[in-house]
């Protein structure tokens, strides 16, 4: 409701012990709303938060100052589907094909076996599955609290953030290095980032989808930097971060079903930098791999000058979209850009930046509907290739096209993060 703000707060506990869970708020009454372009009257998703792992406390700022009764639902982490030869890192969860009330959490990185194992329900001792050490954890079904009345305060509602894009549970991810509660020095998330110069081994996803980006190798970790006002990750040393399980969960970035990607970066270290610097990708920038890459391209060999380039491939030597716009991402200057892709509309793909340039175009679309060859990687084009150099201020990815208002709000939000 205009002119007011509202929130709901509480504590998540499991058997009397505080627990970290994704918590979502839904309207008790049915609400008229638009979902994927269709007018419906249903319970509405109003916001989400993650409860504190030590205290279990959470607060959800409700959409548009919603003031009527709500339900609050806490979700356990169900993990990824079991897949043959799946690479897992510490903290990743996998559930068996046949549910049995447990999930298995990785305690030692490795690769799962080529055939689904007999899962051992032992919550005290980790077992070896393939080359990965995994331990059984009870899976708790969603816990529901309510209906309850939210706390309503006078005055304007909360400022717009990318969380508004995910109000209906859309797939996607949001990474924001200005939020130190999402940054950790180690990939397992036990040592928080607290000061300028700290390495970053884990950057948590703020969308509520649990697609955290990790890096376990010290030499490949980005460095958190701040000047007291702005906050960014420094990619000078060739840093990358991988999103586990994203070769399947983020395939909408190459399968043509609809996606929007927004980012804020400063590229390069000097005015003469020449290279192919990854923003995000899964195909290593080559037709030898299935998937996509979005990169800053500044190579005379490809007639590319400060360009942003999207490239997607479905098989070896067979790509289905290659779009480039020159003079779009000037070296050493912070830039906000967006890429939107939807095979169901024309033009299929649109790249735009804060620079005075825009590219719209149709490729010969033969999208690859399967998984990417590699997991999606930040600051590279995939599989450690095309590592970026410069500053990262934030990125938002969502599994749908976005409206003109959403594009404007997201670009303004990221511009503020980059000091534009």
> pTM of the prediction?
0.64
Question: Are 145 and 166 contacting, i.e. CB atoms less than 8 angstroms apart?
Answer: no
Rounded CA separation 167/11 (Å): 21
Whether residue 377 sits in one domain with residue 364: yes
Domain of 312?
A: 164-418
Rounded CA separation 226/203 (Å): 16
Q: Which of 280, 181, 177, 174 is nearest to 225 (CA)?
A: 177
Question: Taking residues 243-266, what's their average pLDDT?
Answer: 84
Whether residue 409 sits in one domain with residue 320: yes
Q: Which of 279, 272, 243 is nearest to 392 (CA)?
A: 279
Whether residue 390 sits in one domain with residue 280: yes
Whether residue 274 sits in one domain with residue 168: yes
Q: Which of 112, 195, 178, 142 is nearest to 22 (CA)?
A: 142
Pairing of strands 80-81, 93-95: parallel
Rounded CA separation 226/177 (Å): 10
Q: Which residues contact 301 (CB under 8 A, 6 or more apart)?
A: none
Whether residue 211 sits in one domain with residue 101: no
What per-residue confidence (pLDDT) applies to 75? 92
- pLDDT of 377-405, one tens digit each? 998 888 888 888 889 999 999 999 888 88
Whether residue 226 sits in one domain with residue 181: yes
Q: Which of 314, 315, 297 is nearest to 306 (CA)?
A: 297
List the CATH number of the domain containing 8: 2.60.40
Burial class (CB in 10 A: 0-12, 13-18, 19+), 208: buried
Whether residue 146 sits in one domain with residue 124: no
Residue after which a domain boundary falls, among 157, 190, 206 = 157
Whether residue 267 sits in one domain with residue 171: yes
Highest mean pLDDT among 26-40, 298-312, 399-413 belongs to 399-413
Whether residue 197 sits in one domain with residue 213: yes
**pLDDT of 70 higher than 80:** yes
Whether residue 364 sits in one domain with residue 323: yes
Half-sphere exposure of 319 (CA within 13 A, CB side): 16
pLDDT band at 269 (very low <50, low <70, confident <90, very high): low
List the CATH number of the domain containing 399: 2.60.120.200
Whether residue 296 sits in one domain with residue 221: yes
- pLDDT of 279-326, one tens digit each? 888 876 676 777 777 777 776 666 666 666 667 666 544 445 565 555
Residue after which a domain boundary falls, among 124, 157, 190 = 157
Look-up of token digits 């070769």:
247
Whether residue 305 sits in one domain with residue 245: yes
Strand partners, 258: none
- Total structural domains in the chain? 3
What per-residue confidence (pLDDT) applies to 1? 43
Sheet holding 132-138, edge to edge: 80-81, 93-95, 102-108, 132-138, 127-129
Q: How far is CA 139 from CA 22, 92, 133, 142, in A?
A: 14, 14, 18, 9
- pLDDT of 83-142, one tens digit each? 999 999 998 999 999 999 999 999 999 999 999 999 999 999 999 999 999 999 999 999
- pLDDT of 320-351, one tens digit each? 556 555 555 666 778 888 878 776 766 667 77
Residue after which a domain boundary falls, among 157, 185, 208 = 157
């Amino acid at each position: 409701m205009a002119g007011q703000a509202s929130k709901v707060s509480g504590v998540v506990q499991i058997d009397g012990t505080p627990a970290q869970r994704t918590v979502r708020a839904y309207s008790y009454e049915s609400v008229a709303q638009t979902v994927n372009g269709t007018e419906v009257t249903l319970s509405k998703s109003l916001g989400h938060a993650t409860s504190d792992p030590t205290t279990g406390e959470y607060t959800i700022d409700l959409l548009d100052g919603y003031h009527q009764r709500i339900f609050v639902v806490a979700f356990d982490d169900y993990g990824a589907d079991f897949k043959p030869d799946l690479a897992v890192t510490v903290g990743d969860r996998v559930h068996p094909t046949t549910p049995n009330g447990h999930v298995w959490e990785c305690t030692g990185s490795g690769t799962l076996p080529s055939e689904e194992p007999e899962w051992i329900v032992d919550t005290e001792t980790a077992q070896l599955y393939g080359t990965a050490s995994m331990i059984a954890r009870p899976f708790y079904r969603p816990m529901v609290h309510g209906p309850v009345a939210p706390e309503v305060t006078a005055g304007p509602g909360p400022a717009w953030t990318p969380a508004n894009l995910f109000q209906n549970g859309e797939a996607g991810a949001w990474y924001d290095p200005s939020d130190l509660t999402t940054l950790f020095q180690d990939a397992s998330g036990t040592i928080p980032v607290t000061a300028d110069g700290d390495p970053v081994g884990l950057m948590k996803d703020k969308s509520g989808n649990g697609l955290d980006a990790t890096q376990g190798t010290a030499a490949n970790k980005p460095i958190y930097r701040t000047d007291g006002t702005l906050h960014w990750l420094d990619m000078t040393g060739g840093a990358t971060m991988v999103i586990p399980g994203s070769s399947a969960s983020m395939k909408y970035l190459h399968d043509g079903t609809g996606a929007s990607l927004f980012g804020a970066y400063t590229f390069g270290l000097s005015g003469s930098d020449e290279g192919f610097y990854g923003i995000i990708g899964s195909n290593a920038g080559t037709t030898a791999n299935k998937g996509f890459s979005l990169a800053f391209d500044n190579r005379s060999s490809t007639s590319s000058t400060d360009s942003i380039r999207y490239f997607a491939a479905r098989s070896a030597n067979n790509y289905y979209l290659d779009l480039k716009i020159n003079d779009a991402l000037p070296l050493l200057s912070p830039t906000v850009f967006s890429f939107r892709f939807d095979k169901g509309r024309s033009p299929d793909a649109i790249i735009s930046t804060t620079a005075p340039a825009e590219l719209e175009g149709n490729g010969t679309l033969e999208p690859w509907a399967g998984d990417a060859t590699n997991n999606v990687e930040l600051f590279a084009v995939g599989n450690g290739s095309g590592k970026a150099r410069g500053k990262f201020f934030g990125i938002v990815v969502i599994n749908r096209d976005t409206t003109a208002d959403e594009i404007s709000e997201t670009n303004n939000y990221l511009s503020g993060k980059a000091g534009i």
